[in-house]
Amino acid sequence: MGNIVVSPHDKEGQHHMMATPTSNNPNGGSAATAKNKSEITVLLLGAGESGKSTLFKQVQFFHGVGITHDQERIELIEIVRLNVLENAKNLVAATQHLNIPIEQPENRETAKLIINSLNTNDLEDPSWSKRLYSLWKDAGIQKAYENREKFQLYDSTEYLFENLDRICSDKYVPTVVDVIRTRTKTIGITDMKFDVGDGKQLRLVDVGGQRNERRKWIHFFNTVDAVVFLTSLSEFDLNLYEDNGYWRVKESLRVFNEVVNNALFYKVPFVLLFNKRDLFEKKIATKSFSKYFSGFNEAEEKNPVACIEYMTKLFLNEITEHPLDTVSVKTLSAIDHDNSKQVFEEVKQFIMTQQHRE
Amino acid sequence: MRQDKTTFNPDNYCLVYEEVMTCQETRNIFKEFLKENMAEEPLLYLDECEKYKVEYAKLKEKFHGLSLMVKRSSSVGNVSDLGNETSGKEWDKNQLTKLFVNLKGIIDEFIVEEATKELNLSSVRQWTIMEWQIIEAMMNGFEQDSSNLELSNNLYRKLDINVLFEKVDLVVMIDLKMDQFPRFIRSNLARKFLLEKGEHFT
């Protein structure tokens, strides 16, 4: 593919049209027939923890399904609390692995209970709010948290600990933001449908991202009309959940390569979303970006636009088969409601426009 | 399950994970839902484990020559009394081997990397495989000297999946409960079931 010159992130959030249109591909994918279909299937793909389900939940929310109803959020109380416990357990376990002692004796007691006996029902008792918060603020736990690239921890940790006073109460009802922030590993597939005008429906399909889940993707590749591929900008210092010792960026690039160059997608509009821009900007303020990318100019490493530009090139260089004029690149903060709404609207427009071009 | 009104409306009912999993009928419907959503392997894994646990408990009864009350979820504690009173007895080599082969079947089908129904496990997979390798080594020793009672007892203890799969079970439970189950209770399949069963289903 040679050198691709890109301007990766423009402020208007516009997509990037690449040159070299190729419309006469003999192995044309399913999009060729999409024009007359009443249902447009859009697949959310990406490695584990890239934000597919977070975006999916946001789209559900815009369309008034799922988490907008009180009753459905009440059913998620246990899930939010399980997240709190998992985060707490992971942090306590990390202090042990990293050999960082928990400083305060009462926090060490709390840590013991977390590992041995604490369950989600216990968290109805408001006294746990104080105990868990005190543990979270313990110098030992905070030190482990600062070193969180060395173990697996959800992005939601800080948010959940800062909201314990609401969560640890018998009156707790998860808010929409709580549900968006809650990490749930997706297994299998799930979908939703909504009208997009012209008598057409958009079917959005969410999938699991870990290696074993990716083997299932192929089953619906031939019915897809567009692909939205997510990758996390903030994963540059992280290793895989399913293979601790394997760099997440390498995995994302590999998965992207396999998907974008798949013959079934030659004629399918393809969107690459660089997610977790919010976390990424926070992270590069304190961590070195250039340490992980030998080809990147160290002097630019505190400049998010330059970093994202570099990442964009890295990903687009993987494209060897897919026509570049049907690839769009955007950044996203999927936990941000307004940003998700705006970016998803742009994605939808891009896909619809591509459909009409056929 | 709870009911708010006298006329039946499935929206007023709430299926509880533990109840769905213990009732064979609802468990099968949940399985059907998981199959449609390409997420059936956790439940298939749990099915296989339950079959195995029955075999495991049977062997212990046989070995003791008396019918012990073995709880379905028997823990290690129950096995630790093996040894003292068992001198002079020998494990049935074939049956212990069969147990091992059954367990290997579960490992190969659900746990190893690239397994046909590989579960979505994290570092738990590596941990479990390491423990499994210890069991394989013990099995080798047992094949060479099946009259070694201490080795046989240790092997039997190690073949207890309440211990070996403790971490796997936790991941599987959390995944099912957090991800697919909330979607299942909102699904047409679950609604249809509740409508058909109406108020008689408790």
A122 is in an annotated binding site: no
Classify residue A11 as exposed, middle or buried by CB count within 10 Å of its CB (0-12, 13-18, 19+): exposed
Angle (CA) A319-A323-A324 rounded to 5° is 70
Answer yes or no: do A219 and A307 share one domain: yes
**Interchain CB contact of A162 with B (< 8 Å):** no
What's the pLDDT at A25?
36
Q: Which residues contact A339 (CB under 8 A, 6 or more apart)?
A: A332, A333
B175 and A187 in contact by Cβ < 8 A? Answer: yes
Residue A293, min C-alpha distance to chain B (Å): 26
Pairing of strands A327-331, A270-275: parallel
**Residue in B38, B118, B175 nearest the CB of A185:** B175
- Position A68 pLDDT exceeds 70: yes
Q: Is A4 or B35 the better-scoring residue by pLDDT?
A: B35
Answer yes or no: do A114 and A55 share one domain: no
Prediction pTM value? 0.85
User: Binning pLDDT at 50, 70 and 90, where does residue B91 land?
Assistant: confident
Residue A341 lies in a domain: yes
A188 and B180 in contact by Cβ < 8 A? Answer: yes
B123 and A244 in contact by Cβ < 8 A? Answer: yes
State how far the alpha carbon of A239 is from the alpha carbons of A56, A273, A334, in Å: 24, 20, 21
Angle (CA) A242-A246-A251 rounded to 5° is 85
A187 and B180 in contact by Cβ < 8 A? Answer: yes
Please list every residue in chain A whose beta carbon sits closer than 8 Å to the beta carbon of residue B178.
79, 82, 184-185
A53 is in an annotated binding site: yes
Return the CATH number at A141: 1.10.400.10
Q: Which of A49, A235, A301, A318 is flagged as catalytic?
A: A49
What's the pLDDT at A269?
95
Which of A173, A195, A218 is the last residue in one of the domains? A173
Which of A173, A197, A228 is the last residue in one of the domains? A173
Q: For chain A, what is the mean pLDDT?
A: 87
Which of A145, A173, A201 is the last residue in one of the domains? A173
Q: What is the pLDDT of residues A171-194, one digit of tens each?
A: 999 999 999 999 989 999 999 999
CA atoms of B155 and B159, how far apart (whole Å): 6
A49 is a catalytic site residue = yes
Answer yes or no: do A310 and A265 share one domain: yes
Here the tokens at position A322 are: 């897919």
Coil, strand or helix at A194: strand
A170 is in an annotated binding site: no
Here the tokens at position A49 are: 């923890």
Percentage of chain A beyond pLDDT 70 is 89
Averaged over B183-187, what is the pLDDT? 89
Return the CATH number at A59: 3.40.50.300
Q: Is A1 or A217 the better-scoring residue by pLDDT?
A: A217
Domains, chain B, in order of start with CATH, read: 13-67+91-200 (1.10.167.10)
Q: What is the pLDDT of residues A252-307, one digit of tens each?
A: 999 999 999 999 998 899 999 999 999 999 999 999 999 999 889 999 999 999 99
Q: Is A119 or B106 the better-scoring residue by pLDDT?
A: B106
| Residues spanned by the domain of A95 | 77-173
Lowest-pLDDT range, A11-20, A115-124, A290-299? A11-20
A242 and B183 in contact by Cβ < 8 A? Answer: no
User: Binning pLDDT at 50, 70 and 90, where does residue A220 land?
Assistant: confident
Q: Which of A131, A148, A181, A183 is flagged as catalytic?
A: A183
Averaged over B132-141, what is the pLDDT? 95
Looking at the DSSP bridge assignments, the partners of residue A109 are: none
Tell me the ipTM for this assembly: 0.81
Residue A281 lies in a domain: yes
Question: Is there a contact between B164 and B132 (Cβ–Cβ < 8 Å)?
Answer: yes
Q: Helix A139-146 to helix A77-97 angle, to the nearest 10 degrees?
A: 90
